[in-house]
């Protein structure tokens, strides 16, 4: 059942993200900007968990969990 939902939501995402005439706004420039922002957020999140969390563990400081 989960795979059916993955395929259905993936199709909706592709049509919604690239069907500019259907949605009536945006274009490939806006899609590229959105994907760049999403990619940057993933890179910053990875930096946060790989570098900053490791530093906090080494110093012995314990933050809120």
The per-residue pLDDT for range 5-48, each reduced to its tens digit, is 999 999 988 888 888 887 777 888 988 898 899 999 999 999 99
> Which pLDDT belongs to residue 64?
60
Model confidence at 56, pLDDT cuts 50, 70, 90, reads confident
Place of tokens 């946060």: 48
Report how far residue 9's alpha carbon sits from residue 57's, in angstroms, rounded to the nearest whole number: 38
This model's pTM is above 0.85: no
Tell me what pLDDT residue 41 has.
96
**In angstroms, rounded to a whole number, what is the distance separating the alpha carbons of residues 59 and 28?**
46
């Amino acid at each position: 059942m989960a795979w059916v939902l993955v395929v259905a939501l993936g199709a909706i995402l592709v049509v919604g993200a690239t069907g500019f005439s259907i949605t009536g706004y945006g274009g490939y420039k806006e899609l590229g900007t959105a994907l760049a922002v999403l990619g940057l957020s993933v890179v910053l999140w990875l930096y946060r968990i790989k570098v900053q969390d490791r530093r906090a563990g080494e110093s012995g400081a314990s933050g809120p969990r």
